[in-house]
């Protein structure tokens, strides 16, 4: 008797570029079957930021169980996987190497191809997952802990043109550093977002940096917050924390929104999208009502977006990827 036609081969994604150990299984047409993210945030909170060596060691402990969870939750096995995608960079090199080594080992054992995914392309590819997938062309604001970019995305498989970037801190970094000055827990973006809900965004007039073109700058803003905090006694800081958080958040969001709208105007309108951890920010989402923001669960680092990008990245056939290396930054 003829067997029913084989199920489409699934894609297994692995992401370990920073402090999230993540694995996901998706279908070739972009449906998420599982998306497991094991955050190490608690582990790093006591240091007020990610400690690279600690992150690498934790990835090593977590990567195998997280991959097993992703397969189990997708109700599948490696027998159904046809392609692996792994973040090769940019990120913390020791952390990246754990994911790359795990992906190589699985792909090699199964004689499968492996796609070396760029983390930033991964964030953009969070928009290509169902049920809310959008297709290029679109203008993309990518705001994360490591990057702030305005991208002209013309094609899923090609590197987008960079229209603007930050001259100093990334938007997420500005959130994290600001949270630290305010005595809020790491990771700071979500904390500022939460605390700001009870504050007055007009209480403090923090500056939006004026830099030429479509670039961003957040370091002056951080310094302004530092001076505002320094003027306060501890009990006053306690009372003004929500106002400071709300005003600071508004300044970051205004900078992001102004530049995004300016860029949209310059490239002649069209669709606008927002991705990356900072795209989870409630005020940013509300301030870009006509933009497509990535679903909340796909804003911060995850492996579904990496599996998604793997579909549009040329895969390295078995066993060529054994020589694959990770990279900390894009040249």
Distance CA(14)–CA(305), nearest Å, equals 10
Near ligand KG4 by CB under 6 A, which window of 74-82, 143-151, 263-271, 306-314?
A: 143-151
Q: Is 300 in the site for ligand KG4 (CB under 6 A)?
A: yes
Q: Is 199 in the site for ligand KG4 (CB under 6 A)?
A: no
Compare residues 113 and 172 and give the one whose CB is closer to ligand KG4.
172
Tokens of residue 9, six digits: 């081969």
Q: Which of 102, 278, 303, 309 binds ligand KG4 (CB under 6 A)?
A: 278
DSSP letters for 1-39: -PPPPPPPPEEEEEE-SSSEEEEEEE-TTS-EEEEEEEE
Tokens of residue 179, six digits: 């949270």
Tokens of residue 99, six digits: 């994911």
Q: Which of 113, 189, 199, 201 binds ligand KG4 (CB under 6 A)?
A: 189
Alpha helical stretches, state H, the chain: 41-45, 52-73, 93-110, 119-125, 171-181, 188-196, 219-230, 234-266, 282-287, 304-310
Q: Is 301 in the site for ligand KG4 (CB under 6 A)?
A: yes
Q: Which of 99, 146, 160, 199 binds ligand KG4 (CB under 6 A)?
A: 146
Question: 207-236 mask for ligand KG4 (x: CB under 6 A)?
Answer: ------------------------------
Compare residues 18 and 255 and give the one whose CB is closer to ligand KG4.
18
Task: Say which entry of ligand KG4, Zn ion, none residue 300 contacts (CB below 5 to 8 A, set by partner kind).
Answer: ligand KG4
Q: Is 149 in the site for ligand KG4 (CB under 6 A)?
A: no
Distance CA(132)–CA(127), nearest Å, equals 7
CB of 169 to ligand KG4, least distance (A): 10
Q: Which of 21, 35, 144, 313 binds ligand KG4 (CB under 6 A)?
A: 144
Identify which of 67, 65, 61, 73 has the alpha carbon closest to the alpha carbon of residue 85.
Answer: 67
Q: Which of 277, 287, 309, 321 binds ligand KG4 (CB under 6 A)?
A: 277
Compare residues 136 and 276 and give the one whose CB is closer to ligand KG4.
276
Burial 253-290 (b: 16+ CB within 10 A, else e): bbbbbebbbebbeebeeebbbbbbbbbbbebbbebbee
- Dihedral of CA atoms 25, 30, 36, 38 in degrees, nearest 10, equals 120
Q: Is 190 in the site for ligand KG4 (CB under 6 A)?
A: yes
Task: Say which entry of Zn ion, ligand KG4, none residue 281 contacts (CB below 5 to 8 A, set by partner kind).
Answer: ligand KG4
Burial 180-201 (b: 16+ CB within 10 A, else e): bbbebebbbbbbbbebbeebeb
Compare residues 118 and 191 and give the one whose CB is closer to Zn ion.
118
Q: Is 187 in the site for ligand KG4 (CB under 6 A)?
A: yes
Where do contacts with ligand KG4 occur on this chain (CB under 6 A)? 18, 144-146, 172, 175-176, 187-190, 193, 276-278, 280-281, 300-301
């Amino acid at each position: 008797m003829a067997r029913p036609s084989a199920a489409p081969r699934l894609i297994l994604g692995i992401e370990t570029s920073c402090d999230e150990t993540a694995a996901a299984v998706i279908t070739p047409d972009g449906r998420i079957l599982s998306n497991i993210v094991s955050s190490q945030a608690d582990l790093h909170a006591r240091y007020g930021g990610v400690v690279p060596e600690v992150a690498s060691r934790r990835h090593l402990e977590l990567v195998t169980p997280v991959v097993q969870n992703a397969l189990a939750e997708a109700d599948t096995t490696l027998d159904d996987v046809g392609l692996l995608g792994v973040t090769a960079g940019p990120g913390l090199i020791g952390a990246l190497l754990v994911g790359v080594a795990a992906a190589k080992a699985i792909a090699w054992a199964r004689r499968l191809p492996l796609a070396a995914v760029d983390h930033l392309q991964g964030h953009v590819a969070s928009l290509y997952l169902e049920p809310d997938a959008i297709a290029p062309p679109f203008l993309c604001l990518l705001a994360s802990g490591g990057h702030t970019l305005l991208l002209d995305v013309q094609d899923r498989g090609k590197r987008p043109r960079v229209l603007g970037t930050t001259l100093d801190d990334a938007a997420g970094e500005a959130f994290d550093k600001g949270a630290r000055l305010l005595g809020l827990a790491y990771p700071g973006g979500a904390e500022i977002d939460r605390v700001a809900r009870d504050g007055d965004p007009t209480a403090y007039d923090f500056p939006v940096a004026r830099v030429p073109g479509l670039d961003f700058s957040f370091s002056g803003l951080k310094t302004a917050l530092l001076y505002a905090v320094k003027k306060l006694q501890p009990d006053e800081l306690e009372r003004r924390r929500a106002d400071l958080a709300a005003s600071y958040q508004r300044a970051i969001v205004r900078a992001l929104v102004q530049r995004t709208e300016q860029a949209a105007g310059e490239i002649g309108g069209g669709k606008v999208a927002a991705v990356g951890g900072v795209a989870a920010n409630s005020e940013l989402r509300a301030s870009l009502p006509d933009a497509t923001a990535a679903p909340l669960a796909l804003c911060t680092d995850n492996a579904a977006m990496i599996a998604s990008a793997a579909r549009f990245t040329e895969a390295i056939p078995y066993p060529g990827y054994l020589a694959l290396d990770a990279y900390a930054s894009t040249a």
